Amino acid sequence: MPLTGRKPCFFMAEFFILKAYRGRGTGRAALATILPNHPGNWHIATPLANTAAIAFWQKAVAPLNAATTDIQFEGDIWRLNAFATPAASPRSPRPSEERYARSAG
The full set of domains in the chain, from first to last, is: 10-104 (3.40.630.30)
Q: What is the pLDDT of residues 17-67, one digit of tens each?
A: 999 999 999 999 999 999 999 999 999 999 999 999 999 999 999 999 999
* R_g over Cα of the chain: 17
pTM exceeds cut of 0.85: no
85 closest CA partner among 45, 31, 39:
39
pLDDT at position 97? 47
If you write DSSP's letter for every residue of 39-99 in order, what string do you get?
Answer: -EEEEEEEETT-HHHHHHHHHHHGGGT-EEEEEEETTEEEEEEEEEEPPPPPPPPPHHHHH
- Percentage of the chain beyond pLDDT 90 is 65
